Every structure is written in structure tokens, then in C-alpha cells.
Amino acid sequence: MADIAAESLKPIEIEDSGNFLRRIAREPHGVVLVVAPWNYPYMTAINTVAPALIAGNAVVLKHATQTLLVGERMVRAFTEAGVPADIFQNLFLDHETTSAMIAGGHLDFVNFTGSVGGGRAMERAAAGTVTPVATELGGKDPGYVRADADLDAAVDTLIDGAMFNSGQCCCGIERIYVHESLFDGFVEKAVAIVSAYKLGDPLDPETTLGPMANVRFAEEVRAQISEALADGATALIETMAADDGGAYLSPANSHQRDPRHAGDARRKFRARCRDHGRER
């Protein structure tokens, strides 16, 4: 990104004649607020901090309460690399203070990654200030397996997409629709993969699935699982030994043949914590 910045950000000359000089100039916004989530604390932050700085902006970073040290360490790294201290700063802010900063017109651009509720709060705070707000919010991402799909590849890809980072991904797979002709084979292979996971301490090299980031996140997923089972889904995974009823949560695959849908629906929970990035 830094290598192509000078060329990418230079003015675009439309006309330079005896009659007109027409050009499109790219100018920095000014002070950019980056509000980063906890689930990929370095990656999601750097994806917005770096381009904002390269484009000539000053950046204020507000990280989630679960990952406060990330902001400090990022600023320290940039400062040690030569970025002036006043240009990139990390602030510890609660939700109310963050909203007040935005509403007060103290910022020139706001970039938020997190929950839909958090994104709405950003937009409400910015209402009337004419401050641009860019959001990347959590989704409800499905997977679809067609009749002509490579079954092994489909299972490996979709289960990894659902369970990666303990299911705590904004783009994680939350439900999978499988064509009837592949349904039973898909379920069998998916159960085998997930049953082989080892839930445990992330510092243990043998662990393949760690805890949720917060007990309340795990409680919400447990509630989703209970709701699915109450609606007629069938549980397929045994509770794992490390499941402590708190943040350590067993992966849960369930399936349901639902005639109301075109094809067979395989519901899978713990695909993603719906609290993704709720901390603003």
C-alpha cells in the first residue's frame, strides 16, 4: 500500500490546455477516528489506520475494552518507526464519550468495524455534523452447497469458515444450505471434523478450538443453540470435557430438514458470535 500510495493519490489531470486546467485532487480528511473490534484486534485496526495515515490524515484509535493494550502497542510501534506522536494517538473511551466526540464535530471522518447496533450508534452520533461515517458491520452469512459441488472441498471450506477463530468472525458462516442429494454425506463429514476438535487453553499446542472472548458471548450462543433445538433441530455434537458453562463452549452442529425452504437446511450454531465488535 505504501509503495503505490504516491501514484494512487496523485491528482488526476483531466485537462491542461490554454483554456482550462481541470484536475481531481485527493485531499486528507483531517482527523480520522478508527473504532476497532476485539475479534481481530490488530488486523482490523491496521486495515484502516495505515491507509488513513498514508493519505495524510491524523488518526485517533479507540479500541474495544477487551483489547485495550493493542491500541497502545500499535501507537508505540508507529512512533518508534518515525510517525510523529501527535499524528497517531490511542485513546481509552467509553461509549458515551465516543459518541460525544463525534456529535461535537471534533472529527473529520469516522471508521467503525463492529456490530449493527454499534454502527447505528455511530450514525446517530454523527447526525447533523456532516461527518462521514464508514462502517463494516456483522452479517448473517450463509453457505450453499449445490448438487454438483465437490463434497469434501465444500465441507472443509464451510466448516473452517464457521469455526475459525472459535466462530468469532464477522464474515463467519452461520448456516449452511445443502442440496438434498449431498445432505447426508455433508452432515456426516461435518460432524467428523467438528467432533475431532479439541476445546481448551489457547496456549496448549494440542488445542484446536479456544474459548469465546467473553462469557456473555458464549451465553448468547448457548441461547441460539437452545432456540434451534426447540424449533426442531437435531444436535449432533457431544459436549466436550473442557466446556465449563462459561467462555469455554463446545462447538455445536445441528441440522434440520425444513420443507418450507427450497432444499434442505443445515443449521449450525457457534458459526459466529453475534456480539462481534459490540464494544465500540
**Domain positions in the chain:** 2-137, 141-269
Catalytic residue among 15, 96, 136, 171: 136
- Whether 114 and 276 have beta carbons less than 8 Å apart is answered as yes
Burial 23-53 (b: 16+ CB within 10 A, else e): eeeeebbebbbbbbbbbbbeebbbbbbebbb
Written as one letter, the residue type at 172 is G
Which tops the pLDDT comparison, 41 or 280? 41
pLDDT for residue 207 is more than 70: yes
**Is 170 among the catalytic positions?**
yes
Find the mean pLDDT for residues 227-241: 89
Q: Are 166 and 142 in contact (CB under 8 A)?
A: no
Task: Please identify which of the residues 15, 80, 96, 170 carries the catalytic annotation.
Answer: 170
Other C-beta atoms closer than 10 Å to the C-beta of 109 total 20
- Residue 111 near residue 45 (C-beta atoms within 8 A): no
| Intra-chain end-to-end CA distance of the chain, in Å | 27
Look at residue 30 in the predicted model and tell me its pLDDT.
97
**pLDDT of 47 over the 80 cut:** yes
162: left (phi over 0), alpha (psi -120 to 50) or beta: alpha
Alpha carbon 189 to its chain centroid, in Å, reads: 27
2-137 and 141-269 in the same fold? no
The answer to whether domain 2-137 has CATH 3.40.605.10 is yes
The pTM of this model reads: 0.81
136 in catalytic set: yes
In percent, the amount of the chain with pLDDT more than 90 equals: 75
Closest of 96, 84, 160 to residue 124, by C-alpha:
96
Each residue's pLDDT tens digit, 8-34 = 999 999 999 989 999 999 999 999 999
Does residue 84 register a pLDDT over 90? yes
For residues 56-84, give the mean pLDDT.
96
Contacts of 150 (CB under 8 A, 6+ apart): none
| Superfamily of domain 141-269, CATH level 4 | Aldehyde Dehydrogenase; Chain A, domain 2 (3.40.309.10)
